[in-house]
Amino acid sequence: MKKTLLALALVGASTSAFADAWLYGGVSAGRAEYNGNSDTPMGFHVGTGILPIIGVEGGYWKHGNFDASNGKGYAELGSWYAALKPSIDIGPVQIYAKGGLHYYNADYKDGLSGSGSGTDFMYGVGAEYFVTDMLSVGASWQRFNGVKTKFDDKDVDSFTINATLHIF
């Protein structure tokens, strides 16, 4: 019995060690909501674990295209972000939060002209399951605050699935 418990502890510790990779990167896609309508966001992220329980992450989100309230034109929204990412590993599962800043850009199309941009806070939560020592899949929710367009000033909420490759 003691050998079995020792073996399980070692497997859990080795999986957790890989969860705090020195370098990781991945892709995400899902559903974003803004101004009463939704679209499919896509993004990528890269990060590093600076301590066993906290990392730094950055990336880009193409939130999608969102119609104007009056139905005349739409805004194509995207954000670059940088965030701190505290996490905890429970065996092969990593639970995390993230919080930081995002720089958004709105390009107007189909009857609207120009563009707009700004900076505000972003945050989110998620969980990942390590399929192998180097590959995790998971789900997350993010909120990008204060995205101002010609027709609204709202938050962009994204519910996504992701795949991440952990190196080193």
The pTM is what?
A: 0.83
Q: What is the DSSP string of 145-162?
A: EEEE-SS-EEEEEEEEEE
* pLDDT at site 78: 97
CATH number for the domain whose boundaries are 18-83+99-167 = 2.40.160.20
Q: Domain map of the chain by residue range?
A: 18-83+99-167
Contact (CB, 8 A) for 34 and 63: yes
Q: Give per-10-residue mean pLDDT for the chain (168 aa).
A: 42 43 93 92 94 94 89 91 96 96 94 89 98 96 93 92 93
- The residue with tokens 């998971």 is 138
Which helix (H) or strand (E) segment holds residue 11: the answer is helix 2-19
